[in-house]
Amino acid sequence: MSENALKVLYRLHNSGYQAYLVGGCVRDALLGKEPKDFDVTTDATPEQIKGLFRNCRLIGRRFRLAHIVFGREIIEVATFRGHHDSSDEGESKISKQSDHGQLLRDNVFGTIEEDAQRRDFTINAMYYNIADHSISDFAGGMQAIKDKSITLIGDPETRYREDPVRMLRAVRFAAKLNMHISDESAEPIKRLAPLMANIPPARLFEEILKLLLSGQGLATYKLLQEFHLFEQLFPQLAPLLLQSGNRENQFVEQVLTNTDNRINTGQRVTPAFIFAAFMWYPLEERCQQLMVEGGLNHFDAFNLALNDVMHRQIQRIMIPKRFSGPIREIWQLQNRLPKRYGRRAYQMLEHPKFRAAYDFLLLRGEIEGGDLLELAQWWTTFQEASEGQRKKMLEALREKEGAPARRPRRHRKKPKPKA
Ligand code: ATP
Ligand code: MG
């Protein structure tokens, strides 16, 4: 158990407040898994929490809570949430609801029993009390763990409407914990999936990372498809995946399989690679369209398509600059990897994004075979080759494909002597 979480719990408790661990850490501990982070809940208000901790930041508008910061570890402390009373609604900072039942503000405080009712799934509503080390299970979470059942608390449709992200969370927990979504909780999802359009793209970015980087990305993806949620997140890619077993499907599944393997063996992964892959075929399609219908050359069409596809994607899922830059580079290098003459091959090896671009090419090659696979294999060999072998490879390439026509040297015009 995190020492920092303990410090927070004891500081609250010793100051006369109730203090509980709740959510994922209690659930995961009961499942014998190592908790990813520690969430604390209390009857202290955000301001009272701030008064107790120097290292405290209050965050969130929709859902106000406190972050207690210990270097790289953050302990989230939320005040018990209560029921929404229709008299609170309107333009209040405390509570606000949209026309489709979405809660735009959820800052009504209440008791622990009420708080339990406001949580999403029964397995997430178990509380560990620091005062007596007991666990309170208000919604039948213990039984749900035994039944391996992801079950929403309350009326599923109402709860999904309040916060459509709960649909993504249902899928995430089902895949990550190897459980199933109960029939009643599963039923409304396909129907309500379009409500995802009302979620701010920045929040969806955070959720997407959790969905795809859990180590169970492939299983998660399959559930997202099954529940018609994937098309809400990647509307450009989804139509290309309708025909099962085609190269687009194979590509996406292979990317996720590789990502899962890397995560589960402790290797680094970058979201840029996954996003680059999920937009690659839409990019190729758009590029073709611009060439055929717009009469553009490949270079112009590709650059235009790249901007188009990225622009459309970020309407749904915000992609921060630190990832969108590398995504563009991975794409652009796909056009440079075939051009290996002279010094280019060596310059390519030095490129900071060479590794990602090469991995990307390899994946494309594995799926499409043919010239692409040959090209990827050439790069595999070239990287491992000695200097002498590299020279030979480049010469062979020159003979096979014919050297590019030497550009006649342009003689610089001598500046006219000044009169
Ligand atoms: P993880 O292992 O991913 O951290 P978690 O269950 O702890 O899973 P968090 O996002 O950390 O998920 O949220 C902590 C707890 O807050 C949840 O267990 C749940 O009780 C509650 N919660 C989070 N998001 C929602 C939501 N959208 N609606 C209702 N309750 C939520
Ligand atoms: Mg958590």
Q: What is the set of domains in the chain, with CATH numbers?
A: 1-147 (3.30.460.10)
∠113-119-124 over CA atoms, to 5°? 100
Atom of ligand 1 nearest to the CA of 163: 27
The pLDDT value recorded for residue 407 is 60
Atom of ligand 1 nearest to the CA of 162: 28
The pLDDT value recorded for residue 406 is 56
The pLDDT value recorded for residue 245 is 83
Ligand minimally distant from the alpha carbon of residue 173: 1
Best residue among 63, 77, 102, 120 to mutate for probing ligand 1's pocket (most ligand atoms within 8 Å of CB) is: 120
Nearest to 3 by CA among 38, 28, 33: 38
Cβ(81) – ligand 1 distance below 6 Å: no
Atom of ligand 1 nearest to the CA of 37: 4
Ligand minimally distant from the alpha carbon of residue 167: 1
Contacts of 19 (CB under 8 A, 6+ apart): 8, 9, 10, 12, 13, 40, 41, 42, 129, 130, 131
The pLDDT value recorded for residue 413 is 66
The pLDDT value recorded for residue 400 is 80
Nearest to 210 by CA among 255, 165, 180: 165
Cβ(166) – ligand 1 distance below 6 Å: yes
The pLDDT value recorded for residue 100 is 87
The pLDDT value recorded for residue 401 is 75
- Residues (pLDDT < 70) of the chain are 86-93, 402-415, 418-419
Cβ(23) – ligand 1 distance below 6 Å: yes
Q: What are phi and psi of 321, to 5 degrees?
A: -55, -35
The pLDDT value recorded for residue 419 is 58
Dihedral class, residue 208 (left if φ above 0, else alpha if ψ from -120 to 50, else beta): alpha
The pLDDT value recorded for residue 88 is 54
